[in-house]
């Protein structure tokens, strides 16, 4: 049977959760969110946008390399995905196809290469989006985890009229919560809610309740401060060990991973295989390309193990990467 009206009203998310997220975004990301929509996480939000806002055959520009779950979500919905190269300043807006209906990007900390979209490119991107009536999907998957300098203004702050901002608890808490959020123009959120009404779907309230309780007494803020300190110290340990060994590192001082570039695909494959044999799992860049890989290397995460395990693995890791 259909849910009663009280449950039906929560297809946008629990009111207390949405209020907690709004406060979190203002306090930790500098975004004054007028209306927050609960989601099941970043990928779930992309699936909803593809189904509710975009149409089959639409061109969607994505970072290359980039987040392949988003790429697959667009492709399975019938979109034509076009890769846009990234460099040390992030996505290159001038390379976005002129017929793109949407562009998906991670400007705060590009995944997997680790750069952030420069201020000039942020302005260029939103100007391009407004001129072409293009939707910018801003994936802020770990925007809370910046260690070196203050973050640049989010795209949703610069251009709330053309940006759908997506956030998640997967990096700051755990992916098992299945809780995220969307801040977007009213036409976008209305389309998503209409899609939920027509399909009878909604994000699970369980994870929303966990985040709300965590935020209610200030525990979320305290956790984030502790998490930033811990991730910054782990990054310093890892980057320092690699630098001492003369191993180049790519990526900003942010998030929970860094990139070690290689000269070729064969070196990447060989290092990954050798690491696997020695009990270390490395993430090759090849799998993050929607097309033919044009960069090679490994992304090394430092959040999924204890600090003690990270320190113990460093000598082996350095010997593999030399």
Q: DSSP for 75-112, please give it.
A: HHTT-EEEEEEEETTEE-GGGS-TTEEEEEE--SS-TT
For residue 166, is the peptide bond before it cis, meaning its omega torsion is within 30 degrees of 0?
no
Structure confidence at residue 152 (pLDDT): 85
Residue 251 has pLDDT above 80, yes or no: yes
| Spatial CA neighbour of 181 closest among 281, 8, 73, 34 | 34
pLDDT digits (tens, 9 = 90+) for 211-249: 999 999 899 999 999 999 999 999 999 999 999 999 999
CA 306 centroid distance within chain: 23
| Spatial CA neighbour of 86 closest among 118, 120, 50 | 118
Structure confidence at residue 8 (pLDDT): 46
Q: Are residues 245 and 160 in the same domain?
A: no
Cβ contact 50:191 at 8 Å: no
Strands 80-87 and 59-64: parallel
Residue 118 has pLDDT above 80, yes or no: yes
Residue 113 has pLDDT above 70, yes or no: yes
Q: Are residues 253 and 305 in the same domain?
A: yes
State mean pLDDT over 78-104. Answer: 97
Longest CA span, the chain: 64
Strands 163-168 and 135-139: parallel
CATH value at residue 144: 3.40.640.10
State mean pLDDT over 65-79. Answer: 97
Q: Are residues 86 and 228 in the same domain?
A: no
Q: Are residues 209 and 250 in the same domain?
A: no
Q: Taken in order 215, 150, 171, 117, is the CA torsion positive or negative?
A: positive
State mean pLDDT over 117-121. Answer: 96
Structure confidence at residue 146 (pLDDT): 87
Q: Vertex 74, ends 80 and 151: CA angle to 5°?
A: 110
pLDDT grade for 154, boundaries at 50, 70 and 90: very high
Residue 151 has pLDDT above 90, yes or no: no
Q: DSSP for 15-56, please give it.
A: HHHHHHHHHHIIIII----S--EEES-HHHHHHHHHHHT--T
CATH value at residue 304: 3.90.1150.10
The count of structural domains within the chain is 2
Residue 148 has pLDDT above 90, yes or no: no
Which residue in this structure is represented by tokens 């790429």?
Answer: 71
Residue 4 has pLDDT above 90, yes or no: no
Q: Are residues 187 and 249 in the same domain?
A: no
Residue 81 has pLDDT above 90, yes or no: yes
Q: Are residues 231 and 122 in the same domain?
A: no
Eight-state DSSP code of residue 168: E
Residue 250 has pLDDT above 50, yes or no: yes
Query: Domain range spanning residue 173?
Result: 5-216
Residue 48's φ and ψ, nearest 5 degrees, are -65, -40
Residue 210's φ and ψ, nearest 5 degrees, are -65, -50
d(CA 237, CA 48): 39
Out of 162, 197, 216, pick the residue that ends a domain: 216
Least confident segment among 8-12, 39-43, 139-143, 296-300: 8-12
Structure confidence at residue 5 (pLDDT): 47
pLDDT digits (tens, 9 = 90+) for 9-55: 589 999 999 999 999 999 888 888 878 999 999 999 999 999 999 99
Q: Are residues 203 and 258 in the same domain?
A: no
Eight-state DSSP code of residue 33: -
Residue 280 has pLDDT above 90, yes or no: yes
- Share the mean pLDDT of the chain: 94
Q: Vertex 169, ends 168 and 175: CA angle to 5°?
A: 105
Out of 216, 244, 272, pick the residue that ends a domain: 216
d(CA 299, CA 261): 9
Cβ contact 215:24 at 8 Å: yes
Q: Are residues 163 and 95 in the same domain?
A: yes
Out of 189, 216, 243, pick the residue that ends a domain: 216
Q: Are residues 186 and 268 in the same domain?
A: no
- Non-local (6+) Cβ contacts of 185 within 8 A are 160, 161, 162, 164
This prediction has a pTM of 0.93
Q: Are residues 200 and 231 in the same domain?
A: no
For residue 310, is the peptide bond before it cis, meaning its omega torsion is within 30 degrees of 0?
no
Cβ contact 114:259 at 8 Å: yes
Q: Are residues 39 and 95 in the same domain?
A: yes
pLDDT digits (tens, 9 = 90+) for 257-270: 999 999 999 999 99
Q: Are residues 183 and 233 in the same domain?
A: no
């Amino acid at each position: 049977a259909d849910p009663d009206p009280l449950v039906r009203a929560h297809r946008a998310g629990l009111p207390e959760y949405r209020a907690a997220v709004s406060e979190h975004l203002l306090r930790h990301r500098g975004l004054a969110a007028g209306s927050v929509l609960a989601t099941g996480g970043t990928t779930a939000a992309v699936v909803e946008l593809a189904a509710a806002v975009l149409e089959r055959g639409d061109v969607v520009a994505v970072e290359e390399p980039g987040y392949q779950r988003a790429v697959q979500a667009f492709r399975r919905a019938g979109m034509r995905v076009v890769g846009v190269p990234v460099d040390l300043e992030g996505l290159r807006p001038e390379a976005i196809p002129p017929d793109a209906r949407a562009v998906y990007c991670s400007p705060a900390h590009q995944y997997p290469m680790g750069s952030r979209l420069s201020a000039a490119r942020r302005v260029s991107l939103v100007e391009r989006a407004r001129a072409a009536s293009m939707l910018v999907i801003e994936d802020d998957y770990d925007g809370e985890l910046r260690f070196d300098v203050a973050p640049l203004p989010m795209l949703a702050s610069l251009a709330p009229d053309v940006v759908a901002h997506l956030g998640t608890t997967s990096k700051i808490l755990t992916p098992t919560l299945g809780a995220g959020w969307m801040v977007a123009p009213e036409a976008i959120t209305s389309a998503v809610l209409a899609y939920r009404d027509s399909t009878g779907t909604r994000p699970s309230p369980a994870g929303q309740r966990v985040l709300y309780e965590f935020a209610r007494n200030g525990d979320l803020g305290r956790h984030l401060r502790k998490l930033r300190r811990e991730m910054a110290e782990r990054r310093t340990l890892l980057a320092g060990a690699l630098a001492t060994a003369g191993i180049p590192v790519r990526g900003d001082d942010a998030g929970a991973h860094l990139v070690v570039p290689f000269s070729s695909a064969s070196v990447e494959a060989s290092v990954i295989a050798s690491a696997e044999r020695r009990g270390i799992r490395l993430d090759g860049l090849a799998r993050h390309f929607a097309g033919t890989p044009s960069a090679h290397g490994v992304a090394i995460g430092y959040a999924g193990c204890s600090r003690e395990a990270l320190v113990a693995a460093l000598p082996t890791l350095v010997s593999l990467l030399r």
